[in-house]
Each structure stands twice: as structure tokens, then as C-alpha cells.
């Protein structure tokens, strides 16, 4: 259970308590430790118990929704009269934080290195503090069965949205080099909007969605815009988050409507085999570097060698959870995989004069292999 | 133009440059200063020019999308070999940041107080630093005509979504104390999902939407859940953000389907008149405290006096822009309003044994009054 993991992780840090301050929409550690979603700033103090400090307006919701053992409010620490006293809500808040920490008998306080500097500096004047880098990254990387179910559910929504995208492209007609759907040229924007609408229907949000066609697809981060081409690759990368569970999923497919060039067909073949090599390599105990190495070797065998921002120019994959990019990393420096890690496996090849191809699956690391959460077909040419 | 405002604001800070580090999805100041949207961390250094430091993968997008004068990448500062050297991407990044700042001839560096503490601490060892609270809050509070247009556009989407909500409730039939739509009990979840779907169609995202009926509505932050009641108030508070412009809008209506109690009818009347009193008071030069005072006096005149978390228990309003809550504040401590401020005016009354009523409009402060961006009707009883 993640509550016990949180308390255990803090115990191992060698401090009396760990204080997190921020909003849990933007800070995944704060959501992980509290399971309380708020776009307003609040504080979590973890000792042998999990204490929340929220505004009095949030007391009821925090008590019913959060996983904290104790919910306190800033009113319990006379926030209102502190504001009168200091003439500043920020100064008053820092004073309230200090009393909150003191009250729980902390002398040596752990503070994550992403804590706002102003709060860190003030607390350092009152307490012995240790600045800690990402205190939950290792426990967050190993998902509980509940977390894996939550991710699998988002992945299902993701595939439903991919189906919408692929089906729009499939129903389009190659006409004079572009795709035409329902009498109108099909654009990246049209496909993206259909994808995001389906995700909204399924309770997911997206910061963005890549629908990138033609030579533009040779830039892996390009989101794509304008007319979608016939006979050229279209990279579709969808990474939604559930609005309720807050977990992400992530997948990519590359498709061509019409007749792809020989180069693209060969690249697709190599990417697919490289992905299989990566997937085959994954199990508890191997390193992310090993998996990345297996993918790179496959590309080398096919004669695709990275040079000057061409070829396979990114890492093989990354962890996915409450953040879209988290531990572990499947890259040159990736460490040992553990059962319960959830990672993407997403080799790709990119050439500015040919285009880009990427395939991305989302998998769970298991003791003797991996469980692929992605069921969506891999077909380059769709008709 | 906001670029010149940003450079001017930094000049007034008395530092050689201001460094912002974070992601512009979560940090509105970073988006404001760069107009570059990324969920990956990047840096903005503002001197007499605006310099961006992004990963090499983001160079092309940053050059075409951002408002920066200069785009540099971490590769320009040998990020890859720094990672080899330090064995840590975070340590390497801090070294790169230091070189980036040094290269631009900064000796006295301004750092916002919400900068991650780890980065602040490292920079403090290399430079003379000043920690600055919200360096752009005052310039962000005064919107340019382009910003006001962007907000007005989101507000239109917001009203279209409100129309969806109100129309669902209107078409429902009061049956045995609850509302029935299409043969099924109408729930908060059903209305919320219809609202959010319409917003998604219009290119907006929402963290949440309040659809809260019955006695639950007496808690102003309750999002609402379950069956929607007949004859009782339903508070609908919608605060979407445009996915493209990143600006928010915000509005609230309270409706009853069926026959409201006399208490609710009277509360609605008082809230409506209090809101009118607040709106009438707004113009350049008056203070947010004056506006809040006008609203409070109206409630007092009607005999609604706040006590023990009953009555009018929050402030009158807040600024809206790239954040949902920003300057200026229409509250006890609210300062002078300036032409171009965009604020909510949202009086409400809350009684646990009766329910809640809130009305919220979004307005622009002008020289001689205010311009209401909200056109949606105010009718308590809908049929």
C-alpha cells in the first residue's frame, strides 16, 4: 500500500519528518503522499504519520478524500491574525508552517529540492534542514497492483482515442498528395481534436497530442500542424492522464495512407524488430541500459547508426505513472528494472529528408518478462 | 506588449538579470515571460533581452513559438558531457545553468521565490542573488487588449458550457424530490461530464467543475456528487482554460428546478443585489477593499451577517488570467484597481441547513466603470 511505502521511505531518510509544500496538480510527489488533489497550495508533513495542512475551506474535502492520517487547517494556526500581523499572506503562511512543523516535534526536517526557495530559506532559519532530491522517485517507480490497474485503464482510453485517429486517416482518400476526409483536406488539428474529444469522453485530459505527418515527423517532439500527406508517415503519439486517478498512459503508432517509400517501409520494419528486441529483454533485474543496448544493437544490425541528430536519437523509454516521465529510464544510464515498473518501449528512426517512424508500447516489468498493456495493432499501411 | 513589460519589470528590480527555471505548464510566470509552452523544465533569463535555454530537441519549436529574443540549448553548454562528468542529470543541469548565467555577464542575479530550492542553493554559491516574490504579479494583473480578447474568448466557451448544464437541468423533471432526465436520475457527474465535453469541443481544459446541489452547496468548495435535487439550489461554477492561449475564464450560476424555499429566493435576491453593488463600485482607482466593502454592506443591509462559517464566508473576487487566482484581490486587503485588471465578482451566501447561492461574473476594470464579459442570464428558477 502506497501510504506505508511513503512513511517507510521517509523513515529511511534519516530525518524527523519530511515537509512537502505545493499544489498536488503540479507536484506528483505531493499527490502521491497525500492522495488529495488541489490546485491550491497545501502542506504534507510525513513522520510516522501523514499530516495535511490545508485551508479551512478544504477541511471537509481533505478529510474525506485524502489518505492522510490527520488533517489540520491554517485556521488552527491562526492564519487570519497572522495576516493582520505581517500584512502579507505569504509571510503569514511561512509562520504557520513553522508552527505546524514545531508542533509535531521536528528538529531535523527533510525538504525536497523542488520546494519553493522562499519557503526553504525561511525554514532553514528555524530548523536543521536537509535538502533531498526526489525523495519518492524510487518507491513511485514500483507500482502497486492498484496503480497498474489505474494505468491500464488510461491505456484503454488511449487505445480508443488511437482508434479514432487511425480510423479518420483510414477513411480519408489520398488525393493529389494529401488526405481528404468528408470532402475536406484532413489536418493534424482535425485528428488531434477528435482524439482529445474521445479522451474527454473517457474522463481523460491531455496536455497535447502529436499528430505529425510527412517530413515534419522526423522531429520527434514536433506536434504536427496543417495538411496530412498521402504516401508519407503520420506519427500519432497519445499520452493522456485520467482526471480521476491522475495516472498517465502513453503510446505511439506510425501509419501511412497510400503508398509509402521503400525507405519508410524498411525503417518501419527495423523499428518494429528493435521494439521486439527491447520488449524481449525486459524483466526484473536487467538494467534499462541493457534494454536500450538491445534496441541500439538491432538498429546497428540494420545499418541505422545514429549520427548528427539523425537515426535513433532518443532513449528507448521511460517510466510512466503520476508523471508522464519518471523512473526508471531505458537509456544509456538506466539502472536496474524492478517488478512493478511501468515503462514505455519506443524506438524510432528520424531522417529530415525521409521522415520519422516511432512505435511505442506501455509495459509492466515482471519477474520473468514483461506484460504489455498495449493491444493496438502495428500496421504501417492502413486501408 | 507583454515582452516589453517583462523586460521593463526586470529592469526595475535592480538586478542584472532574472532567472526563471521550471515548466511553463505549471508556472504561469514562465509562460508569461517566454510564451513557450512546455511540460519539460526549461530556463528563461531576462536582461535587456529574453533568453531561453531549452533541450536541443525543443530548439526548433522554441524558436518558432516563443517570444524570446534568443534561444539556446543545453547542448550548447555540453550537457551530455556534463552528465558523464557528474553522473547526474540534475547536477549537470545546474552546472549548465551557471554557465548560461555567467555567459550573459550577470553578477547580481534575481531569482523568484518559487524557484526550486536545490537550484537556488547552488546558484547562491556562484552569484550574488536576490530572492524575489512574484516578480510579475503586478504587470500580469494589467491585461493587454490581446490578453482581454483571449479571456473573453474563453468566457464565451464557458457560457456555452453553462448553457449545456442549465439546459440539462431545465429538461429534467422533478420527481419525488430528485431530477429525472431521459428516464434516469440526473447526477452532478452527468452534468459535469456534459460541461467538460462541451469545453473540450471548444478547445478548453478544466481541472474541475462544480455542480453541487442541495445542502452540499453550502460548502463553497464542494464539487458536488450524486443525485441532483428538485426544489433546492444547484451551484454551477465553471472555470476553464484555453489549451491554446492558456488563459482562464470563471463564472457561476445558481439554479433551482422546481419550487425553491422562501429562504433561497431571498438569499438569491440579496446575492444578486450585492453583486450589482460590487459591479457598480468597480472602476480604476477604487480599491478591491472598497468593492468588497460595498458587497458586505449590502449583505448587512439584508440582515445576512457572516458568523461562524455561515453567510458570506469568502472574498468578493480575484483576478483571472494565466492563473485562475491572481492579482488583484477584491477582499478586505485588496489594493487599488487599475484599468485592464480582469476580476471575478462572486458574492455568495452559505447556510448548512438551507444551502448555498453564488453568482459570479467576470469583468474588465475600465477608467470609468467595468466591462462585464459575462452575458449569461441570472434566473434562479428555470423551467
Q: What's the angle, vertex CA B64, arms to CA B61 and CA B70, rounded to 5?
A: 95
Own/partner long-range contacts of A323-329 (Cβ < 8 Å, ≥24 apart) = A323/A28, A323/A248, A324/A239, A324/A241, A324/A248, A324/A250, A324/B39, A325/B40, A326/A28, A326/A137, A326/A140, A326/A141, A327/A137, A327/A138, A327/A140, A327/A141, A328/A141, A328/A288, A329/A288
Would you call B117 and A133 a contact, using CB atoms and an 8 Å cutoff?
A: no
Q: At what angle do helices B188-201 and B145-171 cross, to 10 degrees?
A: 140
Coil, helix or strand for A330?
Answer: strand
Alpha carbons A195 and A158: distance in angstroms, whole number: 9
Coil, helix or strand for B211?
Answer: strand
Q: Which residues of chain B are within 8 Å of residue A119 when distances are taken between CB atoms?
A: 113, 117
**Residue A273, CB half-sphere, CA atoms under 13 Å: how many?**
14
Alpha carbons A64 and A55: distance in angstroms, whole number: 15
- Residue-wise pLDDT tens digits, A140-161: 999 999 999 999 999 999 999 9
Sheet holding A234-238, edge to edge: A209-213, A234-238, A251-255
Would you call B39 and A207 a contact, using CB atoms and an 8 Å cutoff?
A: yes
The reported pLDDT for the residue numbered A359 is 98
Would you call B113 and A118 a contact, using CB atoms and an 8 Å cutoff?
A: yes
Alpha carbons B316 and B346: distance in angstroms, whole number: 5
Q: How far is B76 from chain A (nearest CA, A)?
A: 14
Tell me the pairing of strands A342-345 and A204-205.
unpaired
Coil, helix or strand for A377?
Answer: coil
Interface check A262 vs B, CB under 8 A: no
Interface check B115 vs A, CB under 8 A: yes
Alpha carbons A361 and A371: distance in angstroms, whole number: 10
Interface check B200 vs A, CB under 8 A: yes
Report which secondary-structure segment, H or E, holds A22: strand A17-22
Q: Which residues of chain A are within 8 Å of residue B324 when distances are taken between CB atoms?
A: 39
| Closest to A321 (Cα-Cα) out of A277, A365, A377, A276 | A365
Interface check B85 vs A, CB under 8 A: no
Q: What grid cell was written down for B172?
A: 429534467
Chain A, nearest residue to B24 by Cα: A26
Confidence band for B216, pLDDT divided at 50, 70 and 90: very high
Confidence band for A265, pLDDT divided at 50, 70 and 90: very high
Q: At what angle do helices A117-126 and B117-126 cross, to 10 degrees?
A: 80
- Residue-wise pLDDT tens digits, B8-32: 999 999 999 999 999 999 999 999 9
The reported pLDDT for the residue numbered A240 is 98
Q: What grid cell was written down for B4?
A: 516589453
Would you call B121 and A133 a contact, using CB atoms and an 8 Å cutoff?
A: no
Q: How far is A57 from chain B (nearest CA, A)?
A: 7
Interface check A222 vs B, CB under 8 A: yes
- Residue-wise pLDDT tens digits, A38-56: 989 999 999 999 999 999 8
Q: How far is A223 from chain B (nearest CA, A)?
A: 9
Average pLDDT over residues B348-375: 97
Sign of dihedral through CA atoms A23, A25, A31, A32?
negative
Average pLDDT over residues B120-140: 96
Greatest extent of chain A over all pairs of C-alpha atoms, in Å: 74
Would you call A114 and B111 a contact, using CB atoms and an 8 Å cutoff?
A: no
For residue A65, pLDDT over 80 is answered with: yes
Interface check B91 vs A, CB under 8 A: no
For residue B237, pLDDT over 90 is answered with: yes
Q: What grid cell was written down for A108?
A: 531535523
Alpha carbons B328 and B336: distance in angstroms, whole number: 8
* Partner residue facing A133 (CB), from B25, B90, B314: B90
Q: With 0-12 CB in 10 A as exposed, 13-18 as middle and 19+ as buried, what is A239? A: buried
Q: Which residues of chain B are within 8 Å of residue A121 when distances are taken between CB atoms?
A: 117, 120, 131
Return the minimum-mean-pLDDT range out of A50-59, A219-228, A294-303, B304-313. Answer: B304-313
Q: What grid cell was written down for A145?
A: 497492483
Alpha carbons A161 and A197: distance in angstroms, whole number: 8
The reported pLDDT for the residue numbered A60 is 87
| Closest to A171 (Cα-Cα) out of A103, A236, A255, A238 | A255
The reported pLDDT for the residue numbered B1 is 59
**Size of chain A in residues:** 383
Q: Which residues of chain B are within 8 Å of residue A116 when distances are taken between CB atoms?
A: 113-117
Chain B, nearest residue to A64 by Cα: B222
Interface test with A, best of B24, B97, B200, B358 (most A CBs within 10 A): B200
Chain A, nearest residue to B130 by Cα: A118
| Closest to B9 (Cα-Cα) out of B32, B36, B37 | B32
Q: How far is A210 from chain B (nearest CA, A)?
A: 13
Average pLDDT over residues B88-113: 95
Q: With 0-12 CB in 10 A as exposed, 13-18 as middle and 19+ as buried, what is A116? A: buried
Alpha carbons B344 and B317: distance in angstroms, whole number: 5
Interface check A118 vs B, CB under 8 A: yes
Q: How far is A116 from chain B (nearest CA, A)?
A: 4
Interface check B321 vs A, CB under 8 A: no
Chain A, nearest residue to B117 by Cα: A117
Interface check A200 vs B, CB under 8 A: yes
Query: What ranges in chain B are assigned the alpha helix state H?
Result: 2-11, 28-34, 59-65, 79-86, 89-103, 117-126, 137-141, 145-171, 188-201, 262-281, 288-301
Chain B, nearest residue to A38 by Cα: B207
Q: Which residues of chain A are within 8 Å of residue B195 when distances are taken between CB atoms?
A: none
Whether the link from the prior residue into B48 is cis, omega within 30° of 0, is no
Average pLDDT over residues A47-75: 94
Instruction: Compute the mean pLDDT over every residue in chain B, rounded to the nearest whole number.
Output: 95
Query: What ranges in chain A are assigned the alpha helix state H?
Result: 2-11, 28-34, 59-65, 79-86, 89-103, 117-126, 137-141, 145-171, 188-201, 262-281, 288-301
Would you call B116 and A116 a contact, using CB atoms and an 8 Å cutoff?
A: yes
The reported pLDDT for the residue numbered B89 is 87
Average pLDDT over residues B330-337: 94
B52 DSSP 8-state letter: E
Q: What's the angle, vertex CA B55, arms to CA B49 and CA B61, rounded to 5?
A: 70
Chain B, nearest residue to A333 by Cα: B87
At B163, phi and psi to the nearest 5?
Answer: -60, -40
- Residue-wise pLDDT tens digits, A98-134: 999 999 999 999 999 999 999 999 999 999 999 999 9
Interface check A1 vs B, CB under 8 A: no
Q: State what percent of residues in chain A have pLDDT above 70.
A: 100
- Residue-wise pLDDT tens digits, A272-298: 999 999 999 999 999 999 999 999 999
- For every residue of B122-170, DSSP letters joined together read HHHHHSEEEEES-TTHHHHHS--HHHHHHHHHHHHHHHHHHHHHHHHHH
Alpha carbons A296 and B268: distance in angstroms, whole number: 67
The reported pLDDT for the residue numbered A133 is 93
* Partner residue facing B219 (CB), from A39, A60, A203: A60
Q: What grid cell was written down for B177?
A: 424530490
Q: Which residues of chain B are within 8 Å of residue A197 when distances are taken between CB atoms?
A: 197, 200-201
Would you call A201 and B201 a contact, using CB atoms and an 8 Å cutoff?
A: no
Interface check B131 vs A, CB under 8 A: yes
* Partner residue facing A221 (CB), from B61, B309, B325: B61
Would you call B120 and A120 a contact, using CB atoms and an 8 Å cutoff?
A: yes
User: What is the ipTM for the molecules in this complex?
Assistant: 0.91
- Structure-model confidence comparison of residues A358 and B60, the more confident one: A358
Would you call A131 and B113 a contact, using CB atoms and an 8 Å cutoff?
A: no
Domains recognised in chain A with CATH numbers: 2-139 (3.40.350.10), 142-372 (3.90.230.10)
For residue A251, pLDDT over 80 is answered with: yes
Interface test with B, best of A29, A38, A81, A118 (most B CBs within 10 A): A118
Interface check A70 vs B, CB under 8 A: no
CA B49, distance to chain mean position in Å, is: 28
Interface check B116 vs A, CB under 8 A: yes
- For every residue of A115-183, DSSP letters joined together read SBHHHHHHHHHHSEEEEES-TTHHHHHS--HHHHHHHHHHHHHHHHHHHHHHHHHHHSEEETTEEEETT
**Residue B126, CB half-sphere, CA atoms under 13 Å: how many?**
19
Q: What grid cell was written down for A75?
A: 485556521
Q: Which residues of chain B are within 8 Å of residue A83 when distances are taken between CB atoms?
A: 333
Number of helical (H) and strand (E) elements in chain B, helices listed first? 11, 21
Q: How far is B114 from chain A (nearest CA, A)?
A: 4
* Partner residue facing B196 (CB), from A120, A200, A309: A200
Chain B, nearest residue to A65 by Cα: B222
Interface check A196 vs B, CB under 8 A: yes
Q: Which residues of chain B are within 8 Å of residue A328 when distances are taken between CB atoms?
A: none
Q: State what percent of residues in chain B have pLDDT above 90.
A: 91
Q: How far is B115 from chain A (nearest CA, A)?
A: 5
Interface check A322 vs B, CB under 8 A: no
At B126, phi and psi to the nearest 5?
Answer: -105, -25
The reported pLDDT for the residue numbered A1 is 59
Interface check B26 vs A, CB under 8 A: yes
The reported pLDDT for the residue numbered A85 is 93
The reported pLDDT for the residue numbered B306 is 75
Interface check A117 vs B, CB under 8 A: yes
Amino acid at each position: 500500500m502506497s501510504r506505508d511505502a511513503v512513511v517507510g521511505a521517509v523513515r529511511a531518510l534519516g530525518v524527523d519528518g519530511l515537509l512537502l509544500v505545493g499544489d498536488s496538480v503540479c507536484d506528483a510527489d505531493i499527490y502521491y503522499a497525500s492522495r488529495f488533489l488541489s490546485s491550491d497550495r497545501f502542506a504534507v508533513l510525513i513522520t510516522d504519520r501523514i499530516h495535511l495542512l490545508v485551508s479551512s475551506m478544504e477541511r471537509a474535502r481533505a478529510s474525506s478524500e485524502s489518505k492522510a492520517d490527520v488533517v489540520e487547517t491554517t485556521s488552527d494556526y491562526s492564519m487570519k491574525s497572522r495576516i493582520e500581523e505581517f500584512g502579507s499572506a505569504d509571510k503569514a503562511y511561512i509562520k504557520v508552517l513553522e508552527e505546524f512543523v514545531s508542533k509535531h516535534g521536528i528538529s531535523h526536517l527533510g525538504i525536497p529540492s523542488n520546494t519553493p526557495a522562499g519557503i526553504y530559506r525561511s525554514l532553514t532559519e528555524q530548523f536543521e534542514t536537509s535538502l533531498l532530491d526526489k525523495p519518492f522517485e524510487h518507491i513511485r517507480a514500483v507500482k502497486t497492483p492498484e496503480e497498474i490497474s489505474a494505468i491500464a485503464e488510461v491505456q484503454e482510453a488511449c487505445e480508443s482515442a488511437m482508434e479514432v485517429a487511425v480510423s479518420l486517416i483510414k477513411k480519408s482518400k489520398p488525393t493529389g498528395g494529401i488526405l481528404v476526409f468528408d470532402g475536406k483536406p484532413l489536418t493534424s488539428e482535425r485528428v488531434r481534436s477528435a482524439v482529445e474529444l474521445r479522451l474527454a469522453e473517457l474522463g481523460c485530459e491531455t496536455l497535447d497530442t502529436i499528430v505529425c505527418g510527412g517530413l515534419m515527423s522526423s522531429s520527434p517532439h514536433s506536434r504536427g500542424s496543417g495538411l496530412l500527406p498521402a504516401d508519407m508517415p503520420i506519427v500519432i503519439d497519445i499520452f493522456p492522464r485520467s482526471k480521476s486517478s491522475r495516472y498517465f498512459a502513453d503510446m505511439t503508432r506510425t501509419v501511412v495512407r497510400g503508398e509509402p517509400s521503400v525507405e519508410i517501409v524498411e525503417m518501419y520494419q527495423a523499428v518494429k524488430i528493435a521494439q521486439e528486441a527491447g520488449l524481449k529483454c525486459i524483466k526484473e533485474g536487467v538494467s534499462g541500459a541493457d534494454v536500450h543496448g538491445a534496441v541500439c544493437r538491432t538498429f546497428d544490425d540494420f545499418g541505422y547508426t545514429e549520427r548528427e541528430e539523425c537515426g535513433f536519437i532518443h532513449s528507448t523509454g521511460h517510466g510512466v505513472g503520476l508523471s508522464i516521465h519518471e523512473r526508471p529510464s531505458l537509456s544509456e544510464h538506466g539502472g536496474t528494472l524492478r517488478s512493478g515498473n511501468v515503462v514505455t518501449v519506443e524506438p524510432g528512426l528520424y531522417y529530415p529528408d525521409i521522415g520519422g517512424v516511432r512505435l511505442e508500447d506501455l509495459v509492466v516489468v515482471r519477474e520473468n518478462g514483461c506484460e504489455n498493456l498495449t493491444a493496438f495493432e502495428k500496421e504501417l499501411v492502413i486501408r
